[in-house]
Structure 1
Amino acid sequence: MPQATSVADAMPSPPAPATLAAAAAAVLAALVLAVVFNRRRGAPAVSKGGGLPLPPAPRGLPVLGNLHQMLANRPVHRWLHRLLADAGGGVVRVRLGPVHVVAVSCPEAAREVLRGRNDAVFADRPTTFAAESFSLGYRSASISPFGDQWRKMRRVLTAEVLSPATERRLRAAREGEADHLVRYVRALCRRDGGAVDVRHVARHFCGNVIRRLTLGRRHFGEVPADGGPGRDEAEHVDALFATLNYLDAFCVSDYFPALVGLDLDGHERVVRGVMRTLSRLHDPIVEERVEEWRLLRKAGERREPADFLDVLASLDDDAGRPLLTMEEIKAQTIDIMIATVDNPSNAAEWALAEMVNRPEVMARAVAELDAAVGRGRLVAESDARGLDYLRACIREAFRLHPYHPFNPPRVAMEDAAVAGYAVPRGSHVLLSRVGLGRNPAVWEDPLEFRPERHLPPAGAGGGVSLSEPELRFISFSTGRRGCPGLSLGTLITVTLLARLLQGFHWSAPPGVGGRVELREAAASLELAEPLVLRATPRLPAHLYDEAE
C-alpha cells in the first residue's frame, strides 16, 4: 500500500526545552491582550446558585485562573483526572480564564447533568475555532450550539438519515463491507505471514462502512490490488481521527477567543490541514450529487435514496425547494463520519488485546458464535441479538477503554446546581468516561476486563444492550445532546468484533511471551502501540471465497 502523508505528520511536535520560557512569555503577553478584549465583550456571569458553593478547585491566579496549570500539565485529561482523584467527591472545577470547567466522575452527578431540567440547561456546546471549522460555521447537528440550526439538523439526522427505514435499506451495504473485512484480513494473513495490524483493520473497516453508507463508495479513486485502503482512504481516516482529537482539545483560544489567529497551541494549523483534506475528498462528490438531485427536481422525477448523501440532498421544504444548503450537506457529511469511526474500532482493538491475555474470555465468545451461527456461514447482523456474551465484551471495552476521556462538553445556558454545587452560567461541564467507567465505588475490580459483569442474571431475559442509561459508564451518551446513532453504532461494532472472532484464530505474535502489553499511550487512551496479532482462518475456505 502506498505510504500517505498522514494528518498526524502535520501535528505540532512538543517544543524543545530551550523554547518553553519564550513560549510561556508569548502566551502570557497574548493573554493580557485577550483579557482586555474579553472584558469588553463581557465574561459569563458567576453565580453561586442561591448560596451553594462552587465545586472544589485548585488555587489559581487572577484573570488566568488555572490556565497556566493547564499549559504545564499535558495531556490535560490526565491532569483533570488527578484532580478528580484528589478531590474524592466525583466533581471538580478548574477556571480557564473566564470559563469554569466542571468535571464529573460519579454516576449520580452525571445523571443530574443529563436528566430532568438540567438536560435542557446543559444543552449548549462551546464555540471554538475547531468546532466552527469542522462544522463549516456551526451548520451540523452534533457540534452546533443550541438553537434553531441545531434543531433543524438534529431532526434531519434522527428522522431521515438514521431512521429505521434508512437503516433497513442500507443493510446490504453494511454486510457487503463485513464480507470485505473477512477477505481483507485473509489477504493480510497470506501476505504478512499471519501478522495483522488490528488497529489498521478496524479503523479502515469503519472508514469503509461510513464512506459506503454516506457517499456510496469504499474508495475515492483507484482500488488497490489487495482491496485495502489507498492513499486517499488512508488520508481520509487519518483526517477523521484528527478531527476527533482536536475538536475538544483544551486549546488556549477556546477560553480566550481574542487569541484565535495567533495559533499559540499549533492547533489551528492542524485543523486547517484536516479541513483541506476533507474538502478535497468530500466536496466533489457532494457537489455532483446535489447537482444530480437539482436536475431530478427540475425534471419532476424522484428516485429512492441510495445512501445518506442522497437522503440529505433529496429533502425538500414545504415549498418544494431543497431543505438543506450545500454547506449544510457538507457539514453534516463530516459530522456523520466522525461520529462513526472511533468507538467501534477502539473497542474492537482493546477487546481483542484483552481477550488474547484472557484466553478463557475469547474461547467463550467464540463458542457463543459457533453455537448461535455455526461455522457453515458468516455471522450476519440478524444474529446480533443472540450474541449476549460478545456484546458484554464490547460493553466492557467501552467501560474500561473509552476512546475519549470525556464526553463532548456541555455548556450551562443558565445557573444550575449539580451534586450540591453551583454551576454558573457559561460553565463547561465534562462527564469523565474514564472516571465513570473505572469508578471503584461502582465497579468491583474496575481495572479488570470482566465481561460477565454485564450479563443479566439467569432467567432475567432482556439481552445485553450497548447503551448505559444509568451512566455507570458512557457508550453512546444520552439526553437531548446524546448520540442518535445507537442502533447503527451497535450494528457496526458488533459486526466488526463478531466477524474478526468468527473468521480467525487470534494469538500474540512470537517473541512476546504469549501476552499483549496493555499500556495506554502517553497522550491518549489508545493502546500505546497498534495491536499486531497473529491471525489464521478458522472457517471453511469456501466461505472466504463466497465473500468475494
Structure 2
Amino acid sequence: MMMELAPWASFLAVVLATALVLVVTALYRRNRKSYKLPPGPRAWPVIGNLNLMGPLPHHSLYTLSSRYGPLMSLRFGLVPVVVGSSVDAARSILKTNDLAFIDRPRTAAGKYTAYNNSSMLWSPYDDYWRQARKLWQTELLSTKQLKLYEHARGEEVSAMLRDLHAESSSSSGAAVALSDHLMMASLNVISRMVLGKKYVVKGSSGSSEDTTTAEEFGWMMEELFFLNGAVNIGDVIPWLNWLDPQGYIGRMKRLSKVLDRFLEKVLDEHDERRRRDGEAFVAMDMVDKLLQLADDPNLKVPITRDGVKAFTLWAMTELLKKPEVLTKATEELDRVVGRNRLVAEGDIPNLPYLEAIVKETMRTHPVAPLLTPRQSREDTSVGGYDIPAGTRVLINVMAICLDPSVWDKPMEFRPERFLGSSVDVRGQDLELLPFGSGRRMCPGHTLGLKMVHVTLANLLHGFHWRLPDGVAAEELSMEENFRMNVLRKVPLEAAAEPKLPAHLYVGP
C-alpha cells in the first residue's frame, strides 16, 4: 500500500511546493511596490532574472545596463539585486554610503569554504571583521611586514626566470607554457609569506608528508576561486539547496575537507615550533602572527592568493598583440636597469611606462570584473532610487572600464593614456577599481601590486618574447573563464629567448 501511495505523496509535495513558491513570489512583489526601485527587466516567477545571465555574468550585466541604465534592479531567484555600472553609482555605493552597503550576503561558499563566514571575504560586518581588518592592515600586510619578505619574492621570481631560461634554451625557440611558471612563482611566494616555507613542490611524485604537489595545491585554489564566484542556485532559491542541482555544495564540502586537512597540518607544525621554542619563539610568517594574535590557538585561516597570475598573463597577452608597446617597455627597462642585473622592487618607481602597462591591463582585463557582492544593511537611497535592506549589491567594474564617457577609445589597449595621469588603482579613483574601494577593499592590494610589477618587469627584461610560429596576433584567444576572478580560457604560450648574461638566470 505504501508503495502505491508514494507517487501521490510526491505529486502532492510538488503541488504544495509550487503553490508556496507562487504565494511567496506574490507577497514579495506586493511588498516591493512601495519602493521606487531602479529600472530593470521584468522578473520571472521563482527564477527572477537568472535566465538573462550567461557564462560570463559581467558581460551579461554590461549588456543589460546599456538598456536599463547605470543603476539597475534585478532579481536572482528571490533575492533582490542592484547593479552599479558607472563611476557615480560606484561612488554612491562604495564611498558615500559605504557603511550602508558594507555587509556580505550569507552564501554556501562562505559557510563551507570559509569556516562559516569567518574569512575576511565573507565575514559579516561585526566586531570579528573589524578586528580581522585591523590585523591585516597593521600586522599581516603592513609595509614593514611586506618589506621583510621582499627577499622571498625576489628569490621566487629568480627561480621562475631560471626555469624559463632552462626550458626556452632546451626547446630551440619553441613556445613555453608561461602560465605554469607564473602559477609556481605565485604559489611559492604566497606559501612562504603565509605559511613560512614552500609547501608546494613540482611534479606528481614529489610530495611528502609536509608538502603538496603544484597540481594538488593548484586544484584547491582553482576550486576555491571558482566556487566563491559562482552563483549557487540554493543561495537565491533556498528550498533548492538540499537538491544541490549544480553539484556546487558537494564540491564545496569536498574542498572544505581537503583544505582543512592541509591547514591542520600547517597549524600543527607551527604550534610544535611554538612549544619547542618557548619564550624564545619569534614569529616567522603570517600563521605565526595569527597564532600569536588570536585568542584561540587553533584558529583556521582560509588561504587565498591574489590575482598575480591573471594580471601578468593578460599583460603579456596584450604586449604580444602590440609589439610597439613591448618595444617601449623593454627600452625603458634597458635604460633604467641595464643588461647586467635583474629588476628589483626598488626599480619600479623609476619605470613609469611599465606602471602604465599594468594599469592599462587592469582596466582592459579587470581580474575581478564584478566586485564581491555586498548587501545593504538598511533602506538606502542612491541616485533618487530606493535600495531596500537585504538587497544584494554588485559593482560591474568591467562596465566602468569600458565607459566611453570616462575613457577615450576604451576598447583599445593603450598604456600611454596613463602617462602623466594621476589615476591610481588603490581605491580612490572610482574609474579604476581592480581591488575595490572603501572598507571592504582587498587588503592584499599592496602585495598584489608589488608582485605584478616585479614579475612582469623581469619577464620583459629577461627575455625576448614573440608569438609561437604560425600564430598571428589577431588569432590570439582573448576568451575568459569566469570565477571569483577572471582568467584566460586558453592558457598563454609564447616563445622566449634569453637576452641577459647566463649567470643572472641562476636562481636559488
Give the whole-Å Cα distance in 2 for the aligned partners of 1:30 and 1:304. Answer: 62
How far is 1:394 from its partner? Answer: 0.8
Q: Deviations over 1:493-517 (max 9, x none)?
A: 1111011111111100001135552
The answer on 1:533 being equivalent to 2:494 is yes
Q: 1:507 to 1:258 in 2, by over 3 A?
A: same
Counterpart CA distance in 1 for 2:198 and 2:75 is 45
Q: Does 1:111 align with 2:85?
A: no
Does 1:241 pair with 2:222? Answer: yes
Q: Which position in structure 1 is the counterpart of 2:8?
A: none
**Do residues 323 (structure 1) and 295 (structure 2) align?**
yes
Q: Is the 8 A contact 1:368 1:389 kept in 2?
A: yes
1:313 matched to 2:279? The reply is no
How far did 1:470 drift?
2.0
Tell me the CA shift for residue 251 of structure 1: 1.3
**What pairs up with 1:409-424 in 2 under 5 angstroms?**
409-424=373-388
Match of 1:201 among 162, 181, 186: 181
Residues paired across the two proteins, number? 489
CA distance in 1, matches of 2:347, 2:107: 42
**Distance of 1:164 and 1:520 partners within structure 2:** 36
Superposition RMSD on alpha carbons, in Å? 3.0
How far 1:136 moved relative to its partner? 0.8
Amino acid corresponding to residue 281 of structure 1 in structure 2: F
Q: For the residues of structure 2 that align with 1:381 and 1:523, how far apart are their CA atoms? A: 31
> Does residue 277 in structure 1 map to residue 258 in structure 2?
yes
Aligned 8 A contact 1:357 1:516 in 2: no
CA offset at residue 325 of structure 1? Answer: 4.2
Counterpart of 1:55, as a letter, is P
State the SS of the aligned residue for 1:237: helix
Aligned with 1:61 (options 25, 29, 44): 44
Equivalent position of 1:255 in the other structure: 236
2:99 alignment partner, SS class: helix
In structure 2, what is the Cα distance between the partners aligned to 1:401 and 1:30? 47
Query: Does 2:472 align with 1:513?
Result: yes
1:142 pairs with 2:106: no
Which among 378, 403, 427 is matched to residue 342 of structure 2? 378
The counterpart of 2:361, out of the listed 375, 394, 397, is: 397
1:427 is the counterpart of 2:370: no
Q: Does 1:293 align with 2:274?
A: yes
Alpha-carbon distance between aligned partners in 1 of 2:58 and 2:419, rounded to the nearest angstrom: 31
Question: CA–CA distance in 1 between the matches of 2:328 and 2:469?
Answer: 24
Q: Aligned equivalents of 1:29 and 1:373: distance in 2?
A: 72
- After superposition, what is the alpha-carbon deviation per residue over 1:171-227, rounded to whole angstroms, capped at 9, x for unaligned? 211111111111121122134444212222222221111011111222446878999
- Deviation of residue 137 (structure 1)? 1.2
Cα deviation for residue 81 of structure 1 reads: 2.3
| Between 123-132 and 211-220, the greater mean CA deviation after superposition | 211-220
- The residue that corresponds to 2:4 in the other structure is none
Structure 1 vs Structure 2: percent identity of aligned residues?
33
Partner of 2:352 in structure 1? 388
Name stretches of at least 5 consecutive residues in structure 1 with no aligned partner: 1-24, 316-321
Q: Does the CA contact (< 8 Å) of 1:38 and 1:258 recur in 2?
A: no
Moved more, 253-262 or 143-152: 253-262
3-state secondary structure, aligned to 1:435:
helix
* Alpha carbons of structure 1 residues 29 and 263: separation in structure 2 relative to 1, 3 Å: farther
Is the CA contact 2:318–2:413 (under 8 Å) kept in the aligned structure 1? yes
Paired AA for residue 467 in structure 2: A
- After superposition, the C-alpha distances for 1:330-367 in whole angstroms (9 at most, x for unaligned) are 23x42xx23x2xx2211211111111121110111111
Kindly tell me: are residues 529 and 432 of structure 1, through their superposed partners in 2, closer, same or farther at Cα, counting changes over 3 Å? same
- Match status 1:455 vs 2:438: no
Contact 1:46 1:424 in 2 (8 A): no
Instruction: List gaps (5 residues or longer) in structure 2.
Output: 1-10
TM-score (norm 1): 0.82
CA offsets 1:349-405 (integer angstroms, 9 cap, x no match): 111111112111011111111111111111111111111111111111111112233
| C-alpha distance in structure 1 between counterparts of 2:481 and 2:202, whole Å | 37
- Scaled by the length of structure 2, the TM-score of the pair is 0.88
For 2:147 and 2:56, how far apart are their aligned partners in 1? 41
Aligned partner of 1:431: which letter? I
Please give the secondary structure, in 2, of the residue aligned with 1:422: strand
